[in-house]
Structures are given as C-alpha cells and as structure tokens.
Chains A and B, each alone.
Chain A
Amino acid sequence: MFESLSAALAVTATPEGLFLIGLGCLIAFILGVMPGLSSTEGMIILLPFTFSLGLNESMLLLSSAYAAGFVGGAVTSIFLGIPGSSVSLATIIDGSPLHRQGRTSYAISVASVSSAVAGIMSLLLVVVLLPFMEPISLLFGPVEWFAFVLLGLVVLSFAGETTMLRGLFSAGLGLLAGTVGLSVVAGIPRYTMGMTELWGGIPIIAAFVGLYPIAEAVFMAASRPRALGQTFDEADRGNKAGHGRQLLDGARDTFRNANALSVSTALGWFIGVVPGVGATFANFMAYMVVKGLSRDKSLFGRGDPRGLIASEASNNATVGGALIPALALGIPGSLNTAILLGVFMLNGVEPGANIFSENMEVTWVILLATAIGTLLASGLALFIGSRVLGSISRIQQASIVPVIVFISCLAVLLARGNPFDLFLAFGLAAIGVMMKVFRLSRLSFVIALMLGPLVESSFFQGLSLGRGSYAIFVQSPAAIVIWLLIVACIAMYASYHARGSTAAHGIVAGGRRQMSSPANSSLWQRVFRLVSAEWGTIAFNCVSVLFFIGAFGLRGQAGDFPMAVSTLTVVLGLAVLFVALRDGAQGDLEPGEVDYELGWNLRTALAVGWFGLALAVTYAFGIVFGAAVASLAYFLFLTSVGPTYALVNGLSFSLFIWVVFKKLAGLPLYSGMF
C-alpha cells in the first residue's frame, strides 16, 4: 500500500501534476460559482482533455474538479440565494440570510472550512477502509446488486429534486429509456426503431450533456441576457467591514460546532456510498438531522452556522463515500463518479476488486487530488475576495451558451466517436427542458437510465443463479441487510410524512406556482386547466404507454422488464396528474435550479432555431465549422453585439477548439458528413 502511495505522490507532487489539479480546481470552482452549473459540467468540459492524458493525469484533473465544484456552489448559494447546483440547496437556508446581514465573509468561511474538513475526513475514511474493500466488493453478486440498486432508486425518489411522486415518475421514465437497445437478457433489439446506432442503448455521456448543460443552455439562450449579481453591491457594503475578522470567526465557529460537523460528515459519507443517491439528498438529510438534534432551533433559517455546516459538510463528505462503490465495485454513485469511471474504462482500467491489486496507485492519486482540490477550492473561496466572486457571478450567462453547447458536443463526439450521438444529446436536451418546465426530476431520470440495465440484468442473472427460484434474492446476509434497509427507508419516509412535517423542503424551494383553481370551477374546467398546465407530463405518460404496447411485441424475457416498468410508470404518471387535478398546484420549482424566463416569444423561437442550426451545421460540416457558424449566428441574433465582434468571437472560439483539441491535444475531431 505504501509503495503505491509513494508512487502516487511522485505523480501528484510534480509541476505537471499540481498544474492539472489547479486547472481542474479552478475551472470547476468557477463553473460551480455560476448558477445552474456544477462540478458535473466542469468535469464534462474537462473530459475531452483527458482523451490525450494518461489515467493518473486524467484523475488529477477530474478529481480536483469533482471536489472543487462543490465548494464553488456554496458561494453562489450564499451570495445570490440561488443554488449554484442542487448539492448546495440547503446552503441557501442559512447562508443567504447571513449574506443579507452583511456577514458574507463569515458565511463563506463557515462553508469553506466545513467543506474542507468534511472532504478530508471522508477521504481519510476511504483510506482506513481500503484494506477491506476487496472482500467487501466480493460480497456483492447479482442478487445483492439487484437489492442495492433498488435501495438507491427508492431513496433517490424519496429525496429527489421534486415531490416524491414526480421523482418516482421520472425514475420510471429513466428506467424505460434504459431499456432502449439490445436486451441485456435476451440479446434482441428493443425500441431501436430500426437504428443499429441504438443497439448499444442511450450512451450515458450523451444523456448527461443533453439533460444538463445543453438543456440549461436552452434556458439561458431563451432568457434575456442579464447579470445575476443584482443584490451583490448592497450586501457587499456591509461585508467590507471586518472581512478578516469574519473569516476567523467563521473558522472558529465551524470547529466549535464539532457535533454538527461530525454528524453531517458521517451522514454525507454513508449516503455517498449508496449508488444513485448522492450529495443532493445528503444536503437535505443532514440539514434536517442537525436541526432535529439541536436543542435551540430558533436560529435555523435565519443564519445559523450549524445549518450551513450541515449542508456543506454533508455534500463534500459524499465525495469520499461515492468513491467506495465507484472504485471497489465499478458502480457510479453519482454523475461525477460515473464520469470518473468512464475515464477509467477509456484508459484500459476496469474498476472493481482488481483495482486494489493491480491499480492501487490510481486510487491514491484520486484521493490525493480530491483532497488537494477540496483544500484549494476552500482556499479560493476564502481568500480570493468577495468582489472577484461577485464579478464572476455577474457574467452574462447568455454569452457562454455557445461555449457550453460546443464543448458538450465535443465530449459527446469524443466519448463514442459516433455523430449520431449528437442527435441523441440534443433530443435529450429537449426532454431535459420539458422535464424542468414540468417539474420532473432530471436527476432521477438520468440515474435510473444509468441503473436500469443493471436492475434488469442483475435480476435475471440472480434468477439464473438460483435456477429459477426467487428465494435466492433473500438468501445471502448482505442481501437481507439491504432489503431491511429498503423497508426501513420506506417506513421512515411514511412515518415522517405521517407527522405532517415538510421541514426544509418548503423553506428552500424556489417558489410555488399555483394553477388557479377556484373552488367553484367545474370538473371540465379543471381538466382543461390541467391539460394546459401539465401537457408535458401527459406527453411523458403517453410515451410510457407506447413502451407498454411495444413490450407486447418482444419475445421471451426481453419484454418482461419494460412491461413491468411501463405499467408502474403509467400508474405513477396518472397519480401525478391526479394530484395536480386535486390540488390545483403545479408544485415547486426544481430546487437547485434558476427560474429562467421561458415563454413562447420571438427570443424563444430564435433560441430553439439556433439549437437546430447548431446541430445541423455541426453534423453536416463538423465541430470546428459548426462552432464557427453557430457561434457567429448566436452572437448576431441572440445578443446585442455587432457583426465584427460576432465574427471575431465566433472564429476565435472555433480556432480555440481546433488549436486546443486538434493540434495541442491531438484528438480526432469530427469533420462532418460532407
């Protein structure tokens, strides 16, 4: 173990290694600060660079980005009252009031110190458990996996971004999307519409960039350009007084609240271990637990440092926890670890038990880079100065749309080398936009998409190993423990709701849009309003019905899973509509999201047209040409800059792609169909 540690140190403690850590950290931190973007987008943007790096170097870059984005998100939550990403959701509750009180530096200090401490503690826990990981990983066969993944899906839908019902419906849709491609049990194509490109299923990188960065870019493009740091100047005036003093007080108070810090760290770590749950849930759960355990709850929601510690310590602690299933079992616990695993595979290393016997060095590299990334990002947040952070958050978001879109396209093209994936990514972006507009959970969707084939294959593998007997699913001690955890989670959730508590969810939600529902309106009037307000949800439900019908045409076991899932999804979709009809409420905005302006107007039409142009030109003439033409068109028609500025910007962006990715990194850039 110590040999591999010293080898990892030799890789990390070099000018090149430290440069990569610094680069990953800086980019992810800046993106984390920008509302709507997180460390995931940072990692996706950095992904193309890793194609020309070795595994260790790639891990230095990505692991530091993974950790740094979490810290960056806290800054936005505190400054703007808008979560930088969903993992910083609960940070708003106490961080934003502190900012309004002129204690911005204090809040930043508490967030940074608790992030750093929890991040390092969670990584130390991984180090302590390293010798036991191989036997632990062998505890998990198909039977245990089936139960474990179900546990993740259950907890995810309980703790998702929207209501539990909408979360479950979204997960159902994700599971259905995961059935597209060759059946993992029968080996025949399902729902591929005759396209062999879909035989391999929906590629996960295309799904990520479609549902997240490109979908967010649609909202940015359709919104009027605006700076988001509107409240900065007023609050910053108060902050100028005693900046250094506030930093010291924040650090001191973080350590004084050691109970909140340790409870949140432990909770975040364990939640991180469960695949598919991750930091958003940890963020919520830790806030509720710390608040529940505190004797004096009066300051929570008004700037209590314990709330801030709970939120930031827990989300950073998930980083170490999520590395356990990712490294030991090859299973992504979050979007970020899924990207890490993808890079492992690209570099010829298969994650799993053998990583500890054959590639221990890279495990240490990840741990070291994550630790340094956490400390660097916390240092950045602490010392870079609130004015600089405020300036970053004021960047007009619309101007970065072409960058986000084309770097995302690059990631898609480089990941699988198939231009067809561009259509998938843009199609999924449309789905992502609809899911956001209709308050469905993209996180549940994408994680279910990722885990769906695993649920199906592990179920049928388990059944084969049990020679057709279902008893095998409850025979091993590990499986029994997981089933008990599932039951306990459901019981806890039921008990929690029976007490009628809505706890933090109600506090942090971005606002509640009511569908006007006068008591005296007729049923037909209410149905009409429901259709106009929920047509997207209805459309998604129709898609589920189509999957159900399609399952009848599939032979043997190939149809069993889609039929079961589509039935459940249709039922859940109907339940969502029933609740909407009953309550007349559209529900909360998706926590962690910025409420962009999106209406049917000329700008929206232009934005949608621009995305169509970007896709068509890129597919036809390649990424460099696409970036030039589409960026030019974007600046001309969706911003107020002049043609010369637009031309210079468009060409320089495409030149940047060509020089950096083609010439410097030596990557094969897609050159178009013509």
Chain B
Amino acid sequence: VKRLVQTLSAISAAVLLALAASSPSVALEDGDVIRIIVPYSAGGGFDAQARLAAPYIEAALQENGYPNSNVVVENLTGGGGAIANMFVYSAEPDGTTLLMMDPESSIWLQTVGGAEFDVGEYGIIAQQSAEAMGVFVNSQLGFDSMDKLVERAQSEPLLMGTSGRGAVDHIAPLILQKMLSDAGVEFPVQYVHMSGVSDVMASMRRGEVEVMYATLSSTVAAIKQGVGDYLFTFEDHGPLADRWPHGRDVLKLPPEQVERLTAASYFRRVYTTPPGVDEELLQTLRDIFEIALNNEELIKKSADSNRPVMFLNGADAEAAIDQEIGLAKEYEEYLREQLQ
C-alpha cells in the first residue's frame, strides 16, 4: 500500500508540474511564438522567402507591442500543400499559427482535388511576392519565334515538364492551351510530371524536356548558361513586362484573356490566418506585416536573392485571390476533365 501511495503521489506530482508548465492562450499576446507554416519542404522558394522575412516580421512585432514575441518557420509538407492547409485551416484563429499560402495550388486542391478547406475563408494578411510565369523553351530545339514553336507542337506535341500533376506550372499551361484553343490556335503538349522544378531543369539540360512553364527567378541561371529562354510573354507593357526582359514575342490573345491568363500564371506567396480570426487581430497582423515586408533591407536582400518582394496589403491580396478563385471556378470542369 505504501508503495502504491508513493507511486500515485509521484505520478500526481509529475502531472501537476507538467500541466502547470503548459497553459494554452487564446489570443495574440506578448511572448507568444508565431509559427509560420510553409507547405513545402525546406530549400524551396516558399521556405527561402519565409525564412528571409521571419527576422523582419519578428522585429516588427517586437517594436509594435510584442517585445517578447518570436517568429519560427516550420515546414509541414505533403499532399502538394494540402496537409499544411488542413493544419492551419483547423488551427485556433489566435494569430499564432499562420500559413504562407500558395493560393493557386490551394485553390486547385480545394476545387478539383476535393480537399476539405475553403481558400476564401482564410484571413489574408499580406502578399510577400508574386512571380509571373511563362513558357521556357529548351535552346536545343533551336527555335527563335513563337510561330515556329506552335508549328512544331502541331506536328508533334511538345514535351512539357511540370513540377507535379496539379501544380501551378501544370494548371496554368492547361488554361493557356484552352484559351489558345478558344482563339483558334491549337498548342498540343504532352506533360511529363516530375518532382520539382529542379528535376524539370535537369531533364531539360539532358535534352529530354522541351518546354516548361516557369518563373523567371527559377530560370535565371539556366538562361545565363544557355539552357533555354522565353520565346514569348503575354503582354508588352506594365509591371509584368518590366519583370520579363527575355520575352521576344507577344502572345496574341484578346486583352481580357491576357488579363485572366496573367492572373492564373502568377505564383503568389501570401500570409494567411485560420478562418474566423478577429477583425482587430487581423488588422494588427496586417499592420505588422506591412512594416516588415516593406523593410528596405529585406527588399534589397530579396532582390539580391532573385526573389523580389512584390508587396500587396491584405485587402488587395484578398481581391487578387478572389479573382483567381473565380477563374478556377470558371475552368473547374475543364481542369477536372484534364486532370482526372
């Protein structure tokens, strides 16, 4: 009996000690640790940008009423981003668990993939970056104009590498194909689904993959090494064209199609909160992130690492994402058919 009493006392003491050490909080308070969940593995563009921004977000927090708070970046990978989305979507909306969202893939996971979350319900804090994508063509093909590329595609489908089925570099060219087809231009492509952009690039270096739908930042080194280049872009003026010095030809689509395709071809990185976050808390986070993401040092470092900040405040980022959700719904049936 004595041993039993001693045992129970020991267990009780351990339970009380451990419970005392962990009391959950319900709102953002000074001293809270803010976790930024990155849906992809460490080393990718999402991870790099989140880790680049984290110290500035932490500094902005500490200078604006949360002197003891910290920011940590965690990678919660799997399911093409679905696992991180599910995790944050169901987290407490107390401002301590944020998602660095890839809206395009998340929208696809929701609409066509059937994942159980709603992108429209997230609280949008800010956009850190948005990179336009275009068709990167293997220089080994020897083409110098879009017409020749289309001609070749019509005689034999182009082998287009993607970073995975359903990824943004698969969805956007599918929409491009549909828009071109609606405009009377057939652009046959055979997709080769690989495991990330670097795999596609390696395949291109070996002369296997002929084209890929890529961001400029992921292809800068390859352009320098003569692996490939962009033969066309979607518009000849505005901020997109300024970021796109390599496009030689302008794709001839109706202006409204260009605008929609451009929206579908942006590769955005947006910070979000779980649904149901308090308006005041969301505004606080928006203010802190606006200060952090407009830090000159961060802007310079981002530009130097070829991942420039393209800041949008919460309201503007929300409007851009709503436009993409609308586009995804418009093409939902077509994409479902193509993907399944």
Binding site for B on A (CB under 8 A): 138, 141-142, 181-182, 184-188, 196-197, 199-201, 203, 344-350, 352-354, 416-418, 457, 460-461, 464-465, 467, 555-556, 621-622, 624-625, 628-629, 632-633, 636, 642-644, 646-647, 650-651, 654, 658, 668, 671-672
Contacts and interface: CB of A to CB of B under 8 A. Distances in A.
A461 B10 contact: no
Contacts of A636: 7, 10
Contacts of A624: 18, 21-22
Closest 9 CB pairs of A and B: A200-B78, A199-B79, A187-B165, A625-B18, A643-B6, A348-B43, A647-B10, A464-B192, A346-B42
Which of A353, A354, A633, A643: most chain B Cβ within 10 A? A643
Nearest to B73: A668
Contact of A182 (B15, B19, B22, B80): B80
Contact of B159 (A199, A464, A650, A651): A464
B339 A628 contact: no
Interface stretch (B53-61, B200-208, B262-270, B272-280): B200-208
A196 B6 contact: no
A628 B208 CA distance: 56
Given A138-B202, A187-B164, A416-B76, A345 B10 contact: no
A624 B39 CA distance: 26
Given A200-B77, A353-B202, A625-B22, A348 B17 contact: no
Contacts of B35: 668
Interface in B139-192: 157, 159, 164-166, 190-192
Interface residues of B, number: 59
B135 interface: no
A455 to B, nearest CB: 13
23 contacts: A138-B202, A141-B203, A142-B203, A199-B79, A199-B80, A200-B78, A200-B83, A347-B43, A348-B51, A350-B196, A352-B202, A417-B75, A461-B192, A464-B159, A467-B159, A624-B18, A629-B11, A629-B15, A632-B11, A633-B11, A636-B7, A646-B10, A668-B74
B294 interface: no
B33 to A, nearest CB: 7
Interface string B65-105: 00000001011111110110011000000000000000000
Contacts of A650: 10, 14
A668 B203 CA distance: 38
A201 B78 contact: yes
B248 interface: no
B164 A672 contact: no
Given A350-B198, A416-B77, A650-B10, 18 more contacts: A142-B194, A196-B86, A196-B116, A197-B78, A197-B83, A344-B43, A345-B43, A348-B43, A416-B75, A417-B74, A460-B193, A461-B192, A467-B157, A629-B18, A632-B14, A636-B10, A643-B9, A651-B17
A196 B18 contact: no
Contacts of A629: 11, 14-15, 18
Nearest to A464: B192
B191 A464 contact: yes
A527 B138 CA distance: 62
A354 B37 CA distance: 27
Given A141-B208, A461-B192, A416 B78 contact: yes
Nearest to A199: B79
Interface in B298-333: none
B223 interface: no
A654 B18 contact: yes
Given A352-B198, A464-B192, A646-B10, A141 B206 contact: yes
B291 interface: no
B13 interface: yes
Contacts of B208: 141-142, 465
Contact of B78 (A181, A188, A467, A625): A181
A621 B192 contact: no
A181 B79 contact: yes
Nearest to A358: B221
B82 A668 contact: no
A457 B11 CA distance: 51
A204 B244 CA distance: 40
Contacts of A141: 202-203, 206, 208
A604 B58 CA distance: 49
Contacts of B33: 668
Nearest to A343: B42
Contacts of B209: 465
B11 A417 contact: no
